[in-house]
Amino acid sequence: NAGVTQTPKFQVLKTGQSMTLQCAQDMNHNSMYWYRQDPGMGLRLIYYSASEGTTDKGEVPNGYNVSRLNKREFSLRLESAAPSQTSVYFCASSESGSNQPQHFGDGTRLSIL
């Protein structure tokens, strides 16, 4: 009954360090998404993958890269972390199609010092 699993749950980085946030889903969903949540800003889309082998930029992609490793896994990489990337990151997945609910992980809380 895992659903969407994100690792790590918490992380503190120094400016300039790199890190990869992992996301895996066990629901055989085709579509996966990365969002960030900031106080006063709501959730914003970073990148999405409509299906295995495809990735596309969302509203706020600068400073991030993604990899859709296989159907289950969708990772988000920060190559050179900046304090502005301090946020809570959520991964989500859904079936293909316009009217499918998205299922969210519990988030990764990332602080950049």
Partner 1 sequence: KQEVTQIPAALSVPEGENLVLNCSFTDSAIYNLQWFRQDPGKGLTSLLLIQSSQREQTSGRLNASLDKSSGRSTLYIAASQPGDSATYLCAVVAPPYGYALNFGKGTSLLVTP
Q: Which residues bind partner 1 (CB under 8 A)?
A: 4, 31, 33, 35, 40-45, 48, 50, 56, 58-59, 90, 92, 94, 97-107
Query: Quick one: 67 or 104, whose CB is closer to partner 1?
Result: 104
Query: Quick one: 15 or 100, whose CB is closer to partner 1?
Result: 100
How far apart are CB 16 and partner 1 at their closest, in Å?
28
Cα separation, 15 vs 81, in Å, equals 5
Query: Quick one: 17 or 37, whose CB is closer to partner 1?
Result: 37
Cα separation, 70 vs 52, in Å, equals 6
Contact 88/108 with Cβ under 8 angstroms?
yes
Strand partners, 36: 44, 89
